[in-house]
Amino acid sequence: MSNFALETKDLGRIYKIRGNKKERQERKELIALENVNLTVERGELFGLLGPNGAGKTTLIKILTTLLAPTSGWARVAEQDVSLTPNLVRPRINMVSGGESSGYGLLTVRENLWMFSQFYGMPSKEADKRIVELLTMVGLEDRMNTKSSDLSTGLRQKMNIVRGFLTDPEVLFLDEPTLGLDVGASRDVRKLIRSWMETDKNRTLLLTTHYMVEAEELCDRVAIINKGKVLACDTPANLKRDLQRDAIFEIETSPLNGLTDKILAEQAEVKKAALTEIEGGARLELILKDESAVATVINILTQKNIKIKRLTKREPTLEDVFMELVGQRMEDVEKDEPDESK
Amino acid sequence: MKANNSLAFSPSEKVTGWRLFIKTIGARAYPRVIGMQREKSWMFFDVFLPLLAVSAYVFVYRAIGAPEEYVGFVVVGGAMTAFWLNILWSMSSQLYWEKEQGNLALYIMAPNSMMAVLLGMALGGLVATTLRALAIIVLGSLIFQVQYSITSFTQLIAVFFLAMTALYGMGMMSASLFLLFSREAWHLANLAQEPVYLFSGFYFPIKSFNFWLAAAASFIPLTLGLDAMRQLIFPSGALLGFLSVKFEITVLIILCVVFLAGAKFLLDYMEKLAIREGRITENRR
């Protein structure tokens, strides 16, 4: 038995986009995934981190047998997702953030029971698990509420329970905390950790664009952008390379024409990102060493920009992303339309 | 959140094969059957409104002095429209709505057969619609004092179930086609609604058509089903029938096989195509 729960080799997916009638003859192509090589071991909580449109959802769709790759192959629980999808399906489940699955006329318990039947679970066993899981996520008092009467957060909790209900070997969670409030997100993360800790053979693949979530939950993280895996390692190892660098956050008065390009042109500045905030701006800088901050301060002073706050901090996965892509994830999302989903 | 020791699930004996198939049918039929009890608005939209259309035809027939059997024809036809509307809006376009809701991906990703999901939809729809149709027949018969004279109860039951099997088979087949049509499914359903009212002879005997037109209309399972049922429940029904009941039963059996086999074939094909083109969760790119 292989120890890999998931394996991909040179995996790629190209979408052909239909335009309007005039453009239809020349179909555009969108590369959603390109040469993705990943292995995830059994028992691992693996994170896919990337901005919207990076290809995370496309990868999950391929792994869950919903989309055919255009190149390469992928195996889940030792079975090829394209050649033997029927052997993959009984062993997986998936929950997507913001999904509105189920039927509004049915109660929470009925919706969950219905989905359990599609996996062949005995009704008694399903009922027992439904009660246990709903209790764990604090939804037991809504068991008999119609799902159309649930708030977005509560509905998402129901969806999460649906994913765990069939106790899959490999669970895919695609942005599970999308749109949830802080409390509900914390509950979901707690459930994920508990599920993983209880059985070491369970594998979970989580996609998120919340850095903190990936850092807090994942054993390993792959950073993905524009369909390519840029790095894959433990959060600690990914950040290790940046330990040698100095990371500063500076809050200033309005920037008076200063751009991140001007800062990035400085030899000691590895990466710079500017965000406008109320009454000024926030600079995030990755510098080759601590002393380089003096150069930045000089530039700010020359431009009559006041420094309100200056902090040196430890690297985060956000910094790793910025180092790899050259932009903060938020800025990538602003620049790129979400097409590759 | 509460203590987490319950996540150590005992391994469950999940069923597979035909038992999973049956479970899936039951589970997917459930929302349709239970929905009838929870949304009482169907009493108005699916019983009262069709009765208005029935009434209009009844008054026309009575005004022109048509034989009294025609009133019964209209009431039975009005009841059968409920099945056609169910096929159109709750079977054919259903996979499109399931895709929009996010259920389709979950159905395909689960180890169940999609054919079982469609059969569940059909069975649930059939049970729920039969109640509506019965309500229309009972109310219509009471209001317009329709007299029935059933010549063969066995044949009547057989015709009804064969017509329903063929009709829902056709619905399952078109559901697969609609899977790829995305938003156009809505327009296609709209487009199909009225012509079938006409060609199935909901409000008149199809013998009124010329032979070839009636024969072409017989590809719609309701046409022959309705014609045979009318022959079996009205004294002069046989005189107004298009073909003999036995022949119509034979054709209905053939239609059942063709539509169910077609549904299976198309569903498999469309599922593969949708996975290849990435349309299980997305609309046309």
State yes or no: pLDDT of B284 exceeds 50. Answer: no
DSSP lists the bridge partners of residue A31 as A14
Give the pLDDT of residue B6.
57
Who among A99, A118, A190 is closest to B107 (CB)? A118
Who among B110, B275, B285 is closest to A119 (CB)? B110
The rounded distance, in Å, linking the Cα atoms of A262 and A202 is: 48
Whether chain A has a CB inside 8 Å of the CB on B278: the answer is yes
Percent of chain B with pLDDT strictly greater than 70: 93
Tokens of A92: 């997986």
Chain B neighbours among A 34-53 (CB < 8 Å)?
none
Most B CBs within 10 A among A17, A18, A92, A118, hence the mutation to make, goes to: A118
Contact at CB, A105 and B38, closer than 8 angstroms: yes
What's the average model confidence in pLDDT over B18-26?
Answer: 95
Most B CBs within 10 A among A16, A119, A123, hence the mutation to make, goes to: A119
Tokens of B16: 């597979």
| Interval B28-83: pLDDT, tens | 999 999 887 787 787 777 788 888 989 999 999 999 999 888 999 999 999 998 89
Highest CATH level, class, for A246-314: alpha beta
Highest CATH level, class, for A4-236: alpha beta
Residue ranges of chain A that CATH labels 3.40.50.300: 4-236
The rounded distance, in Å, linking the Cα atoms of A42 and A35 is: 23
Using alpha carbons, select from A267, A247, A254 the residue that is nearest to residue A310: A247
Cβ within 8 Å of residue B190, ≥6 positions away: none
Whether chain A has a CB inside 8 Å of the CB on B35: the answer is yes
Contact at CB, A103 and B35, closer than 8 angstroms: yes
What's the average model confidence in pLDDT over A272-286?
Answer: 86
Report whether A47 contacts A212 (CB < 8 A).
Answer: no
**Max mean pLDDT range (A57-61, A291-295, B46-50, B187-191):** A57-61
Whether chain B has a CB inside 8 Å of the CB on A165: the answer is no
The rounded distance, in Å, linking the Cα atoms of A201 and A42 is: 6
Set of chain B residues whose Cβ sits within 8 Å of the Cβ of A125: 12
DSSP lists the bridge partners of residue A33 as A13
State yes or no: pLDDT of B195 exceeds 70. Answer: yes
Tokens of B268: 């498999």
Give the pLDDT of residue A276.
83
Q: How confident is the model at residue B197 (pLDDT cuts 50, 70, 90)?
A: confident
Tell the burial category of A264 from Cβ atoms under 10 Å away from its Cβ (0-12, 13-18, 19+). Answer: middle
Contact at CB, B109 and A90, closer than 8 angstroms: no
State yes or no: pLDDT of B119 exceeds 90. Answer: yes
Spell A274-295 as b/e; 16+ CB within 10 A means b: beeeeebbebbbbbeeeebbee
A315 DSSP 8-state letter: -
What's the average model confidence in pLDDT over A82-89?
Answer: 95
Instruction: Give the residue from chain A lying closest to B8, CA to CA.
Output: A198
Give the pLDDT of residue B233.
93
Who among A90, A133, A191 is closest to B111 (CB)? A90
Mind telling me how many Å the CA of B284 is from chain A's nearest CA? Answer: 8
The rounded distance, in Å, linking the Cα atoms of A236 and A240 is: 6
Q: How many CB atoms lie within 10 A of CB B182?
A: 15
Who among B23, B28, B285 is closest to A16 (CB)? B285
What's the average model confidence in pLDDT over A29-54?
Answer: 93
The rounded distance, in Å, linking the Cα atoms of A306 and A255 is: 9
Mind telling me how many Å the CA of A259 is from chain B's nearest CA? Answer: 37
| Interval A110-151: pLDDT, tens | 999 999 999 999 999 999 999 999 998 889 999 999 999 999
| Interval A212-270: pLDDT, tens | 888 889 999 999 999 999 999 999 999 887 777 888 889 998 887 888 788 888 878 88
State yes or no: pLDDT of A339 exceeds 80. Answer: no
**DSSP codes, A216-260:** HH-SEEEEEETTEEEEEE-HHHHHHHHHTSEEEEEEES--TT--H
Residue with tokens 């920009």: A305
What value does the mean pLDDT of chain B take? 87
The CA-to-CA distance between both ends of chain A, in Å, stands at 33
What value does the mean pLDDT of chain A take? 88
Give the pLDDT of residue B285.
42
Give the pLDDT of residue A141.
95
Q: Is B265 left (phi over 0), alpha (psi -120 to 50) or beta?
A: alpha
| Interval B229-269: pLDDT, tens | 999 999 887 888 889 999 999 999 999 999 999 999 999 99
Mind telling me how many Å the CA of A269 is from chain B's nearest CA? Answer: 42
Q: How confident is the model at residue B145 (pLDDT cuts 50, 70, 90)?
A: very high
Give the pLDDT of residue B8.
67
Set of chain A residues whose Cβ sits within 8 Å of the Cβ of B281: 61, 66
Angle between the N-to-C axes of helices A108-117 and B17-38, in degrees from 0 to 180, rounded to the nearest 10: 160
Using alpha carbons, select from A73, A72, A113, A66 the residue that is nearest to residue A89: A66
The rounded distance, in Å, linking the Cα atoms of B240 and B226 is: 12
DSSP lists the bridge partners of residue A40 as A6
Contact at CB, A105 and B4, closer than 8 angstroms: no
Q: Which amino acid is at A125?
A: E
Helix (H) or strand (E) holding A130: helix A123-136
Whether chain B has a CB inside 8 Å of the CB on A148: the answer is no
The rounded distance, in Å, linking the Cα atoms of B35 and B128 is: 9
Residue ranges of chain A that CATH labels 3.30.70.100: 246-314
Give the pLDDT of residue B91.
85
| Interval B160-180: pLDDT, tens | 999 999 999 999 988 888 776
Mind telling me how many Å the CA of A180 is from chain B's nearest CA? Answer: 16
Angle between the N-to-C axes of helices A152-165 and A108-117, in degrees from 0 to 180, rounded to the nearest 10: 30
Whether chain B has a CB inside 8 Å of the CB on A244: the answer is no
What's the average model confidence in pLDDT over B187-201?
Answer: 83
Give the pLDDT of residue B161.
95
Whether chain B has a CB inside 8 Å of the CB on A127: the answer is no
ipTM: 0.87
Pairing of strands A203-208, A45-49: parallel
**DSSP codes, chain B:** ----GGGSPPPP----HHHHHHHHHHHHHHHHHHHHHH-TTHIIIIIIHHHHHHHHHHHHHHHTT--THHHHHHHHHHHHHHHHHHHIIIIITHHHHHHHHTHHHHHHHSSS-HHHHHHHHHHHHHHHHHHHHHHHHHHHHHHHT-----S-HHHHHHHHHHHHHHHHHHHHHHHHHHHTTTTHHHHHHHHHHHHHHHHTTSSS-GGGS-HHHHHHHTTSHHHHHHHHHHHHHSTTHHHH-SS-HHHHHHHHHHHHHHHHHHHHHHHHHHHHHHHHHT-SSS---
What's the average model confidence in pLDDT over B134-146?
Answer: 93
